[in-house]
Chains A and B, each alone.
Chain A
Amino acid sequence: GEDVEQSLFLSVREGDSSVINCTYTDSSSTYLYWYKQEPGAGLQLLTYIFSNMDMKQDQRLTVLLNKKDKHLSLRIADTQTGDSAIYFCAEIPPGAGSYQLTFGKGTKLSVIP
């Protein structure tokens, strides 16, 4: 497909793990990103993964990359109410400029206390 695809909504209970999935467009994309947008704010980079990696862990965040299936996931352990936000998956497709990211539509994560 030509779009970066994500499910639109995810609801989890506080303390559970959240898993947000993404299918990106080009297996040659060098870097893949997860950005977070809180209400009324711009986007904030959460983490990124280089295409030669399968996994990256950063405190409560774990990113898994399956290049064969062009699948990227973000796992948030011990999800807190402060994690409620929209999460965007993004890539820089080959041939695009260094800062010309293609974003998914975003997954709205709701954390139930």
Chain B
Amino acid sequence: KAGVTQTPRYLIKTRGQQVTLSCSPISGHRSVSWYQQTPGQGLQFLFEYFSETQRNKGNFPGRFSGRQFSNSRSEMNVSTLELGDSALYLCASTPGGRTTGELFFGEGSRLTVL
């Protein structure tokens, strides 16, 4: 079974630009979560989608948005990039429903903002 796939793996943007990151969950998984990982703040929850609906959202500004498609693939978008948005963005999928909360993570998309 293929794991969680994130694209692109690496990207470089400049301040003010926008970026879209993609995540393909494990086949059959309906929940996709996004986390931001930085050296200073560690891992922080961005949002979670289930069946195309955002179920939970972390404490991030409105520049961070996401969506989920009917095939469970998810994208997140960051507009008006700032230097502080440089991070590893991790996507995780789960079957959804009531489980132990185990997350299956992708390898991440490393964003550098210059």
Contacts and interface: CB of A to CB of B under 8 A. Distances in A.
B31 A99 contact: yes
Contact of B45 (A31, A45, A102): A102
Contacts of A41: 107
A104 B41 CA distance: 10
Interface string A54-79: 00000000000000000000000000
Interface string A88-113: 10001000111111111110000000
Interface secondary structure of B, over-half rule: strand
Interface residues of B, number: 25
B42 A99 contact: no
A42 B23 CA distance: 13
Contact of A45 (B35, B58, B102, B106): B102
B72 interface: no
A100 B45 contact: yes
Contact of A42 (B45, B94, B106): B106
B56 A96 contact: yes
A92 B100 CA distance: 10
Given A41-B107, A99-B33, A104 B92 contact: no
7 contacts: A31-B101, A42-B4, A42-B105, A43-B92, A97-B56, A99-B56, A99-B92
Interface of B: 4, 31, 33, 35, 42-43, 45, 48, 55-56, 58, 90, 92, 94, 98-108
Interface of A: 31, 33, 40-45, 48, 50, 88, 92, 96-106
